[in-house]
Amino acid sequence: MVDFSLSYEEKQVRDTIRSFIEKEVMPLEQDVLRNERAGRPGLEDGAIRELQLKAKKAGYWGINTPEEYGGINLGPVMSAIIAMEVGRTFVPFGFGGEADNILYACNEKQKQEYLLPTIEGERRSCFAITEPGAGSDARNIRTRAIRDGSDWIIRGEKIFITNGNEADFVMVFAVTNPDASAGEGVTCFLVDRDMGWKSEPISTMGEWGPASLVFEDVRVPETNILGEVDRGFELAMQWIGAGRYLIPAGAVGAAERLLSMAIEQSKNRVSMGRPIADYQAIQWQIADSYVQIESAKWLTLLSAWQLENGIDSRHSASVAKLTGAIMANEVVDRVLQIHGGMGYTKELPIERWYRELRLLRIYEGTDEIQRRTIARNLLRGYAKLGEVGS
């Protein structure tokens, strides 16, 4: 019999994180709304850092960072559970002590210059592969890096780069061998901002503030190559694949919080002499939302479990990501409907979540890309129907 229960230690971690989010982070929600609606960042870097240090005192620093680098390395399953708890609030908070997984591919000198300062929060990175003509089609990137003696000259543009406006260095992917076959001939470079690349903010319908990055003959020393020349695409896929399950995990947390708001509203809102919770139309919306949330939750945990146990989780991560993104958008729509006109106003945070969650169906692989991946895996026999625990 499969045991789906959490261990005592896992429950302790979940409950501690939940308490921290409720006591330290959620009280900042109104401040975040006021700041964002005034055109300011929801939280300043100093406030986020203060929260991270409070969490560090409680023992939560480097959730997935190896212990040799000062982290606690809880693993994918607990990381997913923690992401669900953090997802319950829209305050832009993340635990400190983290670095992009591909930065562990740094050599020793690069680790001192990039990896370790990023873990400590002294430096901030961004990952840049998406281009105006190469979004989900990452193999079609056009940014070029041309060798010039012991340096490389990078020329091109990246778009929709998270942290692109705030980062002081970028992991940028550029074509170094145009004649190579698909998936080869791409190299990853560690490029400091003071080497000459520029960023411009991109306004979006949500609070996500990505950037476009421009590289105009940016000179980068060969010592700043991450990994091997022409093997950068492998690093890119490692970056994309390692954390995909965390997207639906956050969606589950947000949807659970939203559904709790809808349940409370349905009990308190009276229409035609009765709480609207008494009406079947409302009950079905609540029931459908719960079923979708639970489905996305367990698909997400399955993907995390596979990753933790060394099983190829790419297929299950696509299933979880597609399910979680659609679920979150349908749940927030129902919750807004249950709140009626008030849900549509800025008096409540539902409209903010509505805009924010819409992004889930686009970034880190659109719905269409996930469906393509899932179908391809089934048609080619990489994934099989009827298998349990595979």
Instruction: Report d(CA 360, CA 296) in Å as an integer.
Output: 13
Q: Does residue 112 sit within a domain?
A: no
Same domain, 279 and 367: yes
Instruction: Report d(CA 15, CA 60) in Å as an integer.
Output: 13
pLDDT for the residue 208: 82
Q: Would you call 23 exposed, middle or buried from its count of C-beta atoms within 10 A (0-12, 13-18, 19+)?
A: exposed
Share of the chain above pLDDT 70, in %: 97
User: Could you read off the pLDDT of 47-88 as tens digits, one per residue?
Assistant: 999 999 999 998 999 998 999 999 999 999 999 999 999 999
**CATH number for the domain harbouring residue 35:** 1.10.540.10
Instruction: Report d(CA 278, CA 6) in Å as an integer.
Output: 35
Q: Is the pLDDT of residue 341 over 90?
A: yes
- Domain-ending residue, one of 163, 197, 230: 230
DSSP state of 134: B
Same domain, 194 and 265: no
Q: Does residue 388 sit within a domain?
A: no
Average pLDDT of the residues of the chain: 92
User: Could you read off the pLDDT of 272-301 as tens digits, one per residue?
Assistant: 999 999 999 999 999 999 999 999 999 999
Same domain, 198 and 258: no
Same domain, 217 and 130: yes
Same domain, 365 and 285: yes
Same domain, 281 and 374: yes
pLDDT for the residue 104: 94
Q: Does residue 308 sit within a domain?
A: yes
Same domain, 256 and 330: yes
**CATH number for the domain harbouring residue 131:** 2.40.110.10
**CATH number for the domain harbouring residue 347:** 1.20.140.10
pLDDT band, residue 200 (cuts 50/70/90): very high
pLDDT for the residue 352: 94
pLDDT for the residue 133: 75
Same domain, 64 and 138: no
Of residues 206 and 199, more confidently modeled: 199
CB-based contacts of 72, cutoff 8 Å, min separation 6 = 59, 60, 61, 62, 63, 65
Domain of 268 in residue numbering reads as 243-379
Q: Does residue 107 sit within a domain?
A: no
Instruction: Report d(CA 25, CA 319) in Å as an integer.
Output: 30
User: Could you read off the pLDDT of 166-176 as tens digits, one per residue?
Assistant: 999 999 999 99
Q: Does residue 385 sit within a domain?
A: no
Same domain, 375 and 247: yes
Q: Does residue 29 sit within a domain?
A: yes
Instruction: Report d(CA 352, CA 42) in Å as an integer.
Output: 12
Place of tokens 């991270």: 52
- Domain-ending residue, one of 198, 230, 262: 230
Q: Does residue 165 sit within a domain?
A: yes
The reported pTM is: 0.91
User: Could you read off the pLDDT of 128-155 as tens digits, one per residue?
Assistant: 999 987 665 666 789 999 999 999 999 9
| Best CA proximity match to 390, nearest among 294, 319, 321, 324 | 319
Sign (positive or negative) of CA dihedral 370, 373, 376, 382: negative
Same domain, 86 and 134: no
Same domain, 271 and 348: yes
Q: Does residue 183 sit within a domain?
A: yes
Domains contained in the chain, number = 3
Q: Which residues belong to the active site?
A: 364
